[in-house]
Chain A
Amino acid sequence: MAEMTKTLTGFAAAEIEKKQGAVRAQEQAVAQEAAGTAEYTFDVTDMDLFYGDFQALNSISMKIKKHEITALIGPSGCGKSTFLKTLNRMNDWVEGCRVTGKILFEGKDIFKEVDPLALRYRVGMVFQQPTPFPKSIYENIAYGPRIQGIKDKKKLDEIVEKSLRQAACWDEMKDRLQKSALGLSGGQQQRLCIARTLAADPSVILMDEPTSALDPISTQKIEDLALELKENYTIVIVTHSMQQARRISDKTAFFLLGELIEFNNTLDMFTNPSNPKTEEYITGRFG
């Protein structure tokens, strides 16, 4: 019997070795992909951010892949919204805010090679509270293209229709384009804001807790919309809802006290996180 067990263990060891070989091959494939064949919208390297003396982000490095939804999670004050706002330099307006390190947007350094205004057209943003202008639905959408210099009424009509269609608003809003946007429901206003962002022809949409002020049905519409939009846009979303991160994102980044603790495929993150702090946070044992 002892001898039998020995042979069997030998057999099992060979099997394990074979499996490990397969795992190594997969790891190599992933590494090759990361090495440059894939395209990244943002490539953040060693980024620190200070509000005066206070360091809000500490040595963040992260590559955000094109046409994916990346969710940023973490407890309040962990730096996830700060990180999001850095991606289109909205922190420029915050007094005493200072950023070091490098952020490449589509290969260009956003602090050296890109005009901040041009950057914000390409990297649109949607906020927690819907922020429609106190104007008609039509004007909300046409406003951006108009200040970009588009005057042709026919061209503007086209942009308005296209943007509203992309944001799944057209059918509900096409007959009330001249009515005030303030008469829309919260969920509709939020989708209008997404449409307004799309009218500026961005390649990225940043969303800062876009559904935390909305009811479940409006939330679902925004989530469905995000999944549709990722075909053509890169989406980065800050969310407090772990279910939302699980439902819609491809990658999830967990921030804690200004540090990026873990950045991983969402499925891996929620089935087998590699950092114990992530595990504590997502299972509700911390924070």
Chain B
Amino acid sequence: MLEVYEKSVTELRNEMIGLGIKVEQAVDNAWKALEQKDIELANRIYKGDDEIDTMVRDCMKKDLTISMMQGPVAADYRALMATLKILSDLERIADHCADISHYVIHLEKTHHNVPLPAGLREMYGVMSSMVSDVIDFYKEKGSAGRAGMMRDKDDIVDMAFNSIMAEISKEITAHPENSRDYIAIVLVVKYIERMADHANNIAEWLIYRDTNELRI
């Protein structure tokens, strides 16, 4: 029975790593599409989200089946519960990549000439490094210490969010004729902030997996 268990857990882990790579790619591509106004890439990200959803569903099914059939305890149980929660967060991160792509397409359709806010590139950079970090942490046990640093990175993203919002509201007052486009940009900035939150959630579930401590 243990052999069956180990085998199915390894399968799940490999699928999770595959999913992690896809999500990381979506996060990288969403920035490229946004910065380079690449509609074709945005469309691809938008369509690729279905594939990610399918992978998430497959992993969830596997996880639930192992939990039900094997009745795991202790670290085994925590790993399966954490994986289930991490899957929800990965799925949300990928959704937001598709959301950003949606607005890339929208912004290009309106032939806008609103520049991306200053500091957005850096904010995106911190967020995407968080996503890469937690996907790395997932692969190895005992990464709880480093996972704890995600909270600080998340705070940096939140601060960037606030300062960019303040800038945008000034811009809207100065150029009310562009307010529709600015609203689209506000949403994009909000998505980026949420993606960092989800990455931080993943870190917290990894801490639970490795130490039994719930930080949520």
Task: Compute how far the CA of A9 lies from the CA of B72 in the bound complex, rounded to whole angstroms.
Answer: 36
Query: In the complex the two chains form, is A12's CB within 8 Å of B151's CB?
Result: yes
Task: Compute how far the CA of A284 lies from the CA of B5 in the bound complex, rounded to whole angstroms.
Answer: 10
Task: Compute how far the CA of A174 lies from the CA of B72 in the bound complex, rounded to whole angstroms.
Answer: 42
Q: Does A246 contact B (CB under 8 A)?
A: yes
Q: Does A8 contact B (CB under 8 A)?
A: yes
Contact A282 to B73, CB < 8 A, known contacts A271-B78, A272-B212: yes
**Residue from B74, B148, B159 in contact with A270 in the complex, judged by beta carbons closer than 8 Å:** B74
Closest Cβ of chain B to A17, distance in Å, is 14
Contacts of A246 in B (CB 8 A): 73
A contact patch SS: helix
Q: Does A5 contact B (CB under 8 A)?
A: yes
Contacts of A5 in B (CB 8 A): 152, 156
Interface string of A264-281 (1 = CB under 8 A from B): 000000111100000100
- Residue of chain A at shortest CB distance from B122: A1
Task: Compute how far the CA of A285 lies from the CA of B73 in the bound complex, rounded to whole angstroms.
Answer: 12
Task: Compute how far the CA of A50 lies from the CA of B76 in the bound complex, rounded to whole angstroms.
Answer: 37
Contacts of B151 in A (CB 8 A): 12
Query: In the complex the two chains form, is B72's CB within 8 Å of A283's CB?
Result: yes
Q: Does A118 contact B (CB under 8 A)?
A: no
Interface string of A4-25 (1 = CB under 8 A from B): 1100110110000000000000
Q: Does B77 contact A (CB under 8 A)?
A: yes
Closest Cβ of chain B to A9, distance in Å, is 6
Q: Does A119 contact B (CB under 8 A)?
A: no
Q: Does B40 contact A (CB under 8 A)?
A: no
Interface string of A239-262 (1 = CB under 8 A from B): 000110010000000000000000
Q: Does B155 contact A (CB under 8 A)?
A: yes
Across the A-B interface, give the 10 residue pairs with the lowest CB-CB distance, nearest first. A272-B212, A270-B73, A8-B152, A284-B2, A8-B155, A283-B76, A282-B73, A279-B74, A283-B74, A273-B74
